[in-house]
Structure 1
Amino acid sequence: MRVGIRLEQAGCAEWVARLIGDLAADPRFTLAWIGRETDPSLLSHAAGYAAWDRARVAEAPDPLDHVSFEALLQRHPALSGAAGKSGQAPADALDVVLDFGAGRAPFPAARFGVWSFRLGGGRLLEAGEFGVAELLRGATFCQLDLVWEGGEGGPVVLSRTFGPVNDASLWRTRAPAVWKARAIAMRTLADLARLGPDAFFARALARNGRQVPQPHPPISVMGMRCLRAKLVFRRLLAPYRVVREQWRVGVRVRPPAGAPDAPWGSAAWARGFRFVEAPFDRFYADPFLFEHEGRTWLFVEDWDWKVGKAIISAAPLAEDGTLGAMVPALERPYHLSNPLIFADGGEIYMIPETMAARQVEVYRCLAFPGRWELVCTPLTDLDIADACVLRTSAGWLMLASIAYEGGLGWDELHVFNADALCGPWTADPDNPVVSDVRTARPGGRMWEKDGRLFRLAQDSAGRYGSGLGLFEVTREASGAYRQEPVATLRSFDFAMNGVHAYDSAGRFEVVDGRHYQLALGRWRAYWPLPRWLGRR
């Protein structure tokens, strides 16, 4: 497939330079044309704040670093033959043109059109305002579209995804979005090559339609003053030099069989949880329950603030839901969390999250609850989070969140299938099947009921672990993954600022909740204000 690139006059951002490198290294694609706009991009009123914010919080590699056109050619010398062609390319010489400029200049002919990205309706220009309007209006998520504007009948949204908005930083909002744009461009081009143009465009229309958000009005000087004032106010609400996020586990005892109970997910149901505070130097999160020899055990991520990582710990639950002594269950040199524990074939297994090791690890219990052996690592070399498995009538199913390079690991869900727990696992060809920070990352185990499959998903719009949703998983006639919302857990119903995991076993239900804690030396106090008034 022959691909053309249109850049801004001065060059491009680092994420675009890396995308060009991806295309150049992929044998499926040929970079046949690289051109630049003739006019410079306009500087916005947000440029000063954007530069200050980048200097304050940017992390390497910074996807927004500027790369000049000359430096780009030095980085990829093989592209020099495709560069500098300012005239029209021959008819049908290109298949796709990726436009990273303002869209003003004429483009060479391309069989499948000119594609460009929009975030909230605005182009991803180096000196542009993308992401600023979302911060200004207090949005918790942003919409990123890859658009073909020249389609018959109007524009076609080729890909649509929803990412987080960091309410305290423009760079931390933009960086994950542009890293994702890099991944989306490669995926979408690969889908076009794999499916063929007819099936590819038909699928894009069916999934995303033609509606493209209109660009926001230019940000005024007064608008930027308002944004700065809001950011200062948020810092006062949660001064992070002395206030930290503290997770704890809540336990609920279900009423006896036949007794009335509040609907699952309702405010009345949420008020029935009793939260357990961890020792002052730790927090507990990601609760899972397991029944063993007549007792129900709670497994948690046991985070140590001094060490800066977590182990898996376990404690028995008394009949009234009181938590017994917490004991270490599994420790590794790297961070562990999300201890999915289950029984199969007479054995007890645990799959903790081991994203720090970039793999999925399956452990078998040797002596409950504290001795485990590593059985296999069925997936490796992946930034994979919260892998959740279930044996179904069709075999083993895994849902997990996988982070693209530079991503946060919150907003894309991948599906894998296998005949055995240790694999080999096969990725769904449509991965990621969900690309939405509100509904992607798993928030607990899956289960089947009356032939229906249910899953829990974290809502990390605005902030990681802001809420939790329950979904029914189905398949379309084409075999494509589909999930329908069933219920939502609101963190404020638990008197918390976040909730991102749920589990149940027998008479017990557990969730985790986040609040803010004032930490001064060994002195701790509950911080009553959320990050933003009325927001999760």
Structure 2
Amino acid sequence: MYERCVLENIPANKRVSLPEDIANLPTVQCVPLKVGKYRQRFDDASVRALREYDVDVLLRFGFGILTGEILTLPKYGLWSFHHGDPEHYRGAPPGFWEIHNKEPVTGVVLQRLTEKLDGGIVLHSGWFKTNIASYPRSLNRTLMGSAHFVARALIDLRRDPSALVDRPCVALCGQIYRYPRTIAVFEMLMVSVRARVFELCRSLFSHQQWAIGFVQKTPEKLLEEAGEAATPIQGVSWLPEPAGRFLADPFAVDGDSGVILAEEFDWKTGRGHIASIRSDISDPIDSRSAVREDFHLSYPYTFEHQGEIYCVPESAENNEVALYILNQSTGTWVKHKSLLSGCAVLDPTIFSHEGRWWLFCTKSGAGANEALYAWHAEDPLGDWHPHTANPLKVDVRSARPAGRPFVHDGHLIRPAQDCSTGYGNGICFNRITRITTDEFAENFAGLLLPETGTYGRGLHTICAAGPRSIVDGARSVFIGAEFCRVLRKKFGGSV
């Protein structure tokens, strides 16, 4: 009854008409026959009818656990979604037990089915933040956010069919779950209610006050110390906080000069601009405006090219990726050109690797912390082209950029935010193993957590500054202006 009343109304479960160009394609009425207690196979007539089409791929949407010739009839197999991480959750219903058990993430796998239950060949996978406060919203995000997996797998198939066939099978470690009984549904609802109340209270009374700090270690050294374990950062010297504002997203302007660009957020206006500060100043911080627009700016990513210093701040509110150049004689920043327009990009990160320039980011809206996108160019001042495999990955634990990439032991390391337990709750180091204009692969290299002291609420940017690292950290505070903004957002203009 819960599924009928609530889940059928989410966007992912609403029926839509097929596009006109495929609505009249031929169809085959398949007859499933029961095999044992749980499995099904297609009858001989259905198999013969399908064989006539000489299909490359079939997609499974429905039926029971399929067995028999239908699994091998398509040249590249029968593909099916598993909405759950099979290393931890197998069975049904999708996304339910993750909320019941308070799991921070929910996995999704697109697999080529085999005779082994839940043990197919992995074609694509992703991990989404579990919305413990709302099963419908959590399930809808998981379903909608993984819909592109089929297109991504088809792109991989076209590029290299043999690589698709040689992929590993799903690791069968997870417990098999069944549809819940009444007591489990009640327990899940109680978990959701408590999470919803906690989420509301935190949004009203607990706000992230960010600050900038220095560690007397390079990012490479911090990665080595973190290893593959989740390690809290230590030895941070924090700069004083400016009154009524916070500083975050620090980037060194030119190595070890001590000049930093950072987001300076005004709690009163609810808007950020880019500030220029020095690391050798005393309390109070004496910052000056470097880039100010009539829309929100943050994440002032800097890079050098042909003797010039550039800044690419996040300007998603203006649906643009804008490039600013430093006038080195006056110390002022001037808008140079627009790199991308009509695109609400978050945390744009530009770097050069093996003769090509790359722009990594996420996008505003659903999946802001989950889906990684990339553009590439021969020159950062030239034309940018989207990666053919966008989004490159979906993983709330390691997608959204968190600072400047660096090289360690011959590998390119990409810092990313771990947002699985909350926004900016750690920095995940990713080791890029393959990057071309139509391929991308990276794996986990280490996780750096916030300190155990004052700024233990967040850690989401890291940048080298000579022999040191600049980071940011958050602590929980109550901000009256933010309290009022949240009330207005949740209850409209009545507050």
Is 2:416 the partner of 1:454? Answer: no
Structure 1 residues 263-317: Cα deviation after superposition (integer angstroms, max 9, x where no partner): 855978525332643433x43321222358x851232222344544422122222
Structure 2 CA distance for partners of 1:276 and 1:151, relative to 1, 3 Å = farther
> How far off its partner does 1:244 sit?
4.2
Is 2:218 the partner of 1:273? Answer: no
Instruction: Note if contact 2:428-2:447 (Cα within 8 Å) is conserved in structure 1.
Output: yes
Partner of 1:189, secondary structure, is helix
> How far off its partner does 1:115 sit?
1.9
Partner of 2:177, secondary structure, is coil
Instruction: Note if contact 2:247-2:263 (Cα within 8 Å) is conserved in structure 1.
Output: yes
- Look up the match of 1:169: 134
Q: Aligned partners of 2:317, 2:483: CA distance in 1, in Å?
A: 31
Structure 1 residues 65-122: Cα deviation after superposition (integer angstroms, max 9, x where no partner): 522xxx625xx44544337753544424143332333547997964433322111169
- Look up the match of 2:471: 511
Structure 2 CA distance for partners of 1:319 and 1:329, relative to 1, 3 Å = closer
Is 2:77 the partner of 1:113? Answer: yes
Q: Which amino acid aligns with 1:286?
A: D
Structure 1 residues 128-180: Cα deviation after superposition (integer angstroms, max 9, x where no partner): 73212111111111110112214799622211112211232223422332222
Alignment of 1:348-359 (within 5 A): 348-359=309-320
- Look up the match of 2:248: 285
Choose from 256, 260, 265 the match for 1:298: 260
Q: Aligned partners of 1:522, 1:401: CA distance in 2, in Å?
A: 27
> How far off its partner does 1:367 sit?
6.0
Root mean square deviation of aligned Cα: 4.0
Structure 2 CA distance for partners of 1:198 and 1:214, relative to 1, 3 Å = farther
Q: Aligned partners of 2:85, 2:175: CA distance in 1, in Å?
A: 5
Identity %: 23
Q: Aligned partners of 1:523, 1:181: CA distance in 2, in Å?
A: 34
- Look up the match of 1:410: 369
Alignment of 1:215-230 (within 5 A): 215-230=176-191
Structure 2 CA distance for partners of 1:452 and 1:150, relative to 1, 3 Å = closer
Choose from 388, 391, 395 the match for 2:355: 395
Structure 1 residues 415-466: Cα deviation after superposition (integer angstroms, max 9, x where no partner): 5443322233455555544432212221111223675433311111132212
Q: Which amino acid aligns with 2:190?
A: A
Choose from 311, 315, 325 the match for 2:273: 311
Q: Which amino acid aligns with 2:12?
A: L
Q: Which amino acid aligns with 1:86?
A: Q
> How far off its partner does 1:46 sit?
5.8
Alignment of 1:123-142 (within 5 A): 129-142=93-106
Q: How many residues align?
A: 449
Instruction: Note if contact 1:249-1:513 (Cα within 8 Å) is conserved in structure 2.
Output: yes
- Look up the match of 2:123: 158
Instruction: Note if contact 1:277-1:283 (Cα within 8 Å) is conserved in structure 2.
Output: yes
Structure 1 residues 495-522: Cα deviation after superposition (integer angstroms, max 9, x where no partner): 4222111123146543222333334469
- Look up the match of 2:212: 250
- Look up the match of 2:489: none
Instruction: Note if contact 1:302-1:313 (Cα within 8 Å) is conserved in structure 2.
Output: yes
Q: Aligned partners of 1:522, 1:337: CA distance in 2, in Å?
A: 18
Structure 2 CA distance for partners of 1:210 and 1:158, relative to 1, 3 Å = farther
Partner of 2:148, secondary structure, is helix
Structure 1 residues 158-214: Cα deviation after superposition (integer angstroms, max 9, x where no partner): 11112211232223422332222222122222332x236434322xx14x6565956
Q: Which amino acid aligns with 1:139?
A: E
Instruction: Note if contact 2:259-2:279 (Cα within 8 Å) is conserved in structure 1.
Output: yes
Q: Which amino acid aligns with 2:81?
A: F
Alignment of 1:328-477 (within 5 A): 328-366=289-327, 371-392=332-353, 394-403=354-363, 407-448=366-407, 451-475=410-434
Partner of 2:147, secondary structure, is helix
Structure 2 CA distance for partners of 1:304 and 1:130, relative to 1, 3 Å = farther
- Look up the match of 1:500: 460
> How far off its partner does 1:326 sit?
2.3
Q: Aligned partners of 2:146, 2:298: CA distance in 1, in Å?
A: 29
Q: Which amino acid aligns with 1:310?
A: G
Normalising by structure 1, we get a TM-score of: 0.71
> How far off its partner does 1:262 sit?
13
Structure 1 residues 382-410: Cα deviation after superposition (integer angstroms, max 9, x where no partner): 44332222334x32432513449x63232
> How far off its partner does 1:349 sit?
0.6
Structure 2 spans left out of the alignment, 5+ residues? 31-45, 87-91, 485-495
Structure 1 spans left out of the alignment, 5+ residues? 1-42, 55-61, 123-127, 525-536
